[in-house]
A and B are shown apart, each in its own frame.
Chain A
Amino acid sequence: MTNVRLLSRLSVAALTAAFPIAAMAQDTPSVAFVPQLIGIPYFNAMENGGNAAAADLGVEFIFQGPVDANPLDQLQIVESLISRGVDAIAVSVLDASALAPLMDSAASQGAILFTSDSDAADSGRPVYVAQATDEGLGTKLIEELIARVGTDATIGIVSGEATASNLNAWIGYMQERVEDAYPEVTLLDPEFAGGTAERAAQLSTDLIAAHPDLDAIIAVASSTCPGVAQAIETSGKDIMGTGYCSPNTAREYLKSGAFGFTVLWDPYQLGYLTVWAGQQLIAGTPFAAENTVPTFPAPVTFDAETGILLLGEPAVFTAENVDEYDF
C-alpha cells in the first residue's frame, strides 16, 4: 500500500520533472550550464546572468550542478542532461580528462558540449568561454595599482598555495609588467600563506614590519584578502591593499579604505556570455574574431586557434561600485 503510493508519487514527480524538458527540446533551444558546485555566491551570479541571457535571447536555461564539487557527480549531471535532450551544455570543468569521452556520446545524441569558467583544452570542445586571461589579470592589477601608489612604490605580494598554477601565472605577469614598464617600482618576492586567512594576516603584518617603506600589498589568492586587509587596518599605516577579491569578500575593506580597489571578472556577465555562446552553437553560427553580444558594451573577441571566447577586460571593483555586485 505505502509502496504503491510511494511509487505513484515518484513517477508523478519524474513525469513533472521530465515533461517540461521534453517539451522545450522541441520548441525553444535549451542551454544548460553545469557549475563546479551549487550554492555559492560566485555560481549564483553566473546563474543569474544565464537567466537574464535566456530571457533576452529566447532560449531555455538549465542550471544544475553537484553540491560538493565532486567530479563524478558533475559527470553524471552532464550525462543526464545529454540524455534529457538538452541542445547545448556548458561545463565548468572539475576533471579535465573526464570530458573528452563524453564528447562523442553527446554528439550522437544531438547535444553540443562546451566549457565555460574552467576549461578542458584537450577535450575537443568547440569553444571555451573564458573569464579573463592570466596576462590580462596580472597586467590589469599592476596598472591600476601603480596609477594609485606611484611609479616608485614598494609593493608586497601575499599569495596562497605555492603550487597554485593560476596564481603563479598571475604573479609572473605582474613581475613581467613591472620589469618592462616600471623600473623604479620594487616588487617584493611573493610570500605564500597557504589557505588560511590567519596566516595571511600574520605574513602581511611581518611584511609591513620588515619593510617600513611599503606602499601596497597585493592579495593574490582570494583566501588571503581578509588577512591582508586586517593587517593593514591593524598597522594603521598608509598602505594600499588590493588583490583578486570578490566584491562580497572585499566590500568592508574597500569602504574602510584598507583596500583601494580589487580586480576580478563579473560572473554575472560570464553566465550571460555562456548562454549566448550556447545559442550560437545551436544555431550553427560560427564565432567571428569580434562578436557583438547584447548588453555587452564592447565586442567579445574569439581566438579561433585556441577556441577561446574571452569575456573581456577584468572588472575593477572600488568603494563606489562594489554595491552593484553580489558574489
Chain B
Amino acid sequence: MDRLTGIGREATLAMACVAAVILFGLLSPAFGTGGNAATVLRNGYELWLIALGMTLLMAMGAIDVSVGAVMGVTAILTGQALLADLPLAAVVIVGPAAGAGLGLVAGAVVVWGRIPAIVATLGLFGVFRMVIFLLLGGQWLSGLPADLTRLVDWRGLGIPMGLLIVALVYAIAWLFLRRTTYGPHLLAIGFDEDRARLMGLAVTWVRMATFAASGALCGLAGVVYIGIYRNVSMTIGADIALEAVAAVILGGTPIFGGRISLLGTLLGVLLLRILQNGLMLIGVPSLWQTVVTGALLLGVLSAEVLARRLREGARG
C-alpha cells in the first residue's frame, strides 16, 4: 500500500458514499435532485478546506482544535473588510493572510513552547473565542453585502466557484506532497519526530509551514463562510474542529500521523455531508444524525483495529 495515497480506505469510503446515495435516493424523492446535490456540496466547502489543513497536521502527528475559532476570527475580518468597501480582491486576501498569521502563532506555541499540539491549540481556542467576542462586541455581524455570495455561487462550466476553490487547494496540496520533499518530510516527522531531526530534516520549518498552511485554509474557509452565510455569530465554528477530525480519521489519516490521504479526507467530508442531508430527508430527527456520525467513526476505527489484529495474527 502506498503511504502517500493509501488506496484501500478510499475505495471503502467511495463505496459507502455510493451506497448512501442509492439508499437515500430510493427512500426519498427529494434526495436525488440536482438542487439537493448542489446543496450537499455547498454545505461541505468550509469543512473540506479546514479538513485539508487538519489532514496535513495530523499526518505529522499534530492537531489543531482551534480551527473553528480561527475561521470565526477570519470570517469577521472578511466581513469587516466587506463593510469597509475594500475591493473584492483585497477582501478575499484578508482572511487567508490573517489565518496564516494565527496558524503561525499556534505553530510557535507548539514548536518553541514545546507544548503538545492538542493542549496548545485548546488554549488558543479559548483566546481566539475571546477575540471573536471582542471583535463582535456582543453584536452579530450581519447585513453584509452579497458580493462574496455572488463570487462563491458563480459557476464556471456549470461548476460553482466554491467547489473549484476546494478542488484547486487540494490539487496544490497534492502537488506539494508528491513533487517536493515536503511530503516525505511531513510523514517522516509524523512517523518519528526525533529520528526526522537526527536525519537532518528541517523539522521546525516543516512544522511551522504546516501550521501556517492550515491557518490560511481556515482563513479561506472564513471567506467562503461569509460568502455562504453572510453573518457571523458568537458560536461560529463551534463544531467544525470535531467534524474535521472525524472526516480526516474516516479518510484514513491516522491520529498519530505517519500516513496521509487527501482523497480519503475529500471522501470523508462528502460522506459526512451526504449522511447529514440524507438522514434529514428521509425524516430521521436531527438529534440522531450525530449518533450516526459517531457510530460510523467508531465502526471504521474498530474495523481497522480488528483487521490489523487479524493480519498480525496470520503473520505470527
Q: Mark B124-162, 1 if CB is under 8 A from A, else 0.
A: 000000000000011110110000000000000000000
B276 touches A202 (CB 8 A): yes
Q: List 22 A-B contacts (CB under 8 A).
A: A40-B138, A40-B139, A191-B280, A192-B285, A193-B286, A194-B239, A196-B233, A196-B237, A196-B239, A198-B225, A198-B237, A202-B277, A206-B280, A207-B280, A209-B30, A209-B31, A209-B277, A210-B28, A210-B30, A210-B281, A230-B228, A248-B140
B142 touches A249 (CB 8 A): yes
**Within the complex, what minimum Cβ distance (angstroms) separates A86 from chain B?**
26
10 closest A-B pairs by CB = A40-B138, A206-B280, A226-B231, A195-B235, A252-B143, A191-B286, A210-B281, A209-B30, A209-B36, A196-B235
**Within the complex, what minimum Cβ distance (angstroms) separates A68 from chain B?**
9
| In the complex, A290 has a CB within 8 A of chain B | no
5 extra interchain contacts, Cβ-Cβ under 8 A, other than A198-B228, A252-B143? A39-B137, A40-B139, A198-B240, A202-B276, A206-B277
Q: Mark B20-53, 1 if CB is under 8 A from A, else 0.
A: 0000000010110101100100010010000000
| In the complex, B238 has a CB within 8 A of chain A | yes
On chain A, the residues within 8 Å of B33 by CB distance are 209
**Within the complex, what minimum Cβ distance (angstroms) separates A247 from chain B?**
11
Q: Mark A201-242, 1 if CB is under 8 A from B, else 0.
A: 111011101111000000000010011001000000000000
B229 touches A198 (CB 8 A): yes
Residue of B nearest to A199 (CB): B239
B138 touches A39 (CB 8 A): yes
Give the CA-CA distance A249 to B235 in the complex, in Å: 14
On chain A, the residues within 8 Å of B239 by CB distance are 194, 196, 199
> What residues of chain B have their CB less than 8 Å away from a CB belonging to chain A?
28, 30-31, 33, 35-36, 39, 43, 46, 137-140, 142-143, 225, 228-233, 235-240, 276-277, 280-281, 283, 285-287
B287 touches A192 (CB 8 A): yes
Main secondary structure of the interface of A (DSSP, over half): helix
**Within the complex, what minimum Cβ distance (angstroms) separates A264 from chain B?**
14
**Within the complex, what minimum Cβ distance (angstroms) separates B45 from chain A?**
11
Partner among B28, B30, B142 whose Cβ is within 8 Å of the Cβ of A226? B142
Residue of B nearest to A43 (CB): B138
B230 touches A230 (CB 8 A): yes
On chain A, the residues within 8 Å of B276 by CB distance are 202, 206
A252 touches B142 (CB 8 A): yes
Give the CA-CA distance A195 to B276 in the complex, in Å: 17
Give the CA-CA distance A90 to B240 in the complex, in Å: 39
* Total residues of chain A contacting the partner, CB 8 A: 33
**Within the complex, what minimum Cβ distance (angstroms) separates A257 from chain B?**
14
> What residues of chain A have their CB less than 8 Å away from a CB belonging to chain B?
37, 39-41, 162, 189, 191-199, 201-203, 205-207, 209-212, 223, 226-227, 230, 248-249, 251-252
On chain B, the residues within 8 Å of A37 by CB distance are 138
B280 touches A203 (CB 8 A): yes
A230 touches B238 (CB 8 A): no
Residue of A nearest to B31 (CB): A209
On chain A, the residues within 8 Å of B238 by CB distance are 194-196
Give the CA-CA distance A128 to B39 in the complex, in Å: 46
Contacts A196-B239, A252-B142 known; A210 to B280 CB distance under 8 Å? yes
A203 touches B35 (CB 8 A): no
On chain B, the residues within 8 Å of A206 by CB distance are 39, 276-277, 280-281
Give the CA-CA distance A32 to B138 in the complex, in Å: 22
Give the CA-CA distance A186 to B219 in the complex, in Å: 42
